[in-house]
Structure 1
Amino acid sequence: MSRFHDLKFRAVTTLQRWVANPLSRRLPFQTLLETTGRKSGQPRRTPLGGSRVGDEFWIVSEYGEKSQYVRNIQANPRVRVRIKGRWHHGTAHLLPEDDARARLRSLPRMNSAAVRAVGTNLLTVRVDLED
């Protein structure tokens, strides 16, 4: 990773961790992804944008395998997703072969624009929903 991308990653993730995410998690209809912490075993909730298509929920991670929630998925793919205020259980799958930039065109516009603007290593994630 270049020095510029490393600085960008640190700045964005610090802002997300300490400002944006704590505020977003409190919004009742914010979409949340709940993973299990790979070290702590505790639930970790990440606000994000994505789209439900049938029994699948699609996400594009800005930083690929550097994202904490992606690292948690690698350790345990069982997740929950809160969509429109309702929790759904599912299994997450990392799809490095998927064209993440093309996928962003099918996801919510505002979130996709932010992911494209700050992301440095896009990775598609599909969650197969069970309920």
Structure 2
Amino acid sequence: MDSSVRVNAYWLREFLWATGWHIDADDHPLNRLNMENATSRALLCENYLIPELNDLSVVQQRMVKETLRYALNFFSKKEWEWYTQDALPDITDTPEEMFADLWGMLFPGEPWHLDSDEGYFRHDDREDALFLDRYRYGRF
């Protein structure tokens, strides 16, 4: 494989499913949060996303990080809707802004801006799951 950074939008979706909202959407604590405000976003990170990120292998963490970086730069509004549906309640009208805030909490001090998608290889494949053993045990 060449030196391209692989990204897969389904990895981002699987990572967001760590909230469990897709399982119990009607009575989930996230329903009491307003993703339009910074306090709610911080609670989402502190209570769900950071613990999940810390539980992933280094390889899986990189997969999530690079896919989110790519998404922040190149996803359309329709792609944001598609890959975040059933993962979070009504995120916002501007998901890029919300996820840029989340990036700052998940990867503090690391830039997410890209000038181009050069060096990235996007292959959205739901069968190439984030939680496959080869990624869990560090084989990318």
Q: Please, what TM-score do these two structures have when normalized by structure 1?
A: 0.32
State the structure with bigger RCO (CA 8 A, min sep 6), 1 or 2: 2
Q: Which has the larger radius of gyration?
A: 2
Q: Where is the helix percentage greater, Structure 1 or Structure 2?
A: 2
Q: Where is the strand percentage greater, Structure 1 or Structure 2?
A: 1
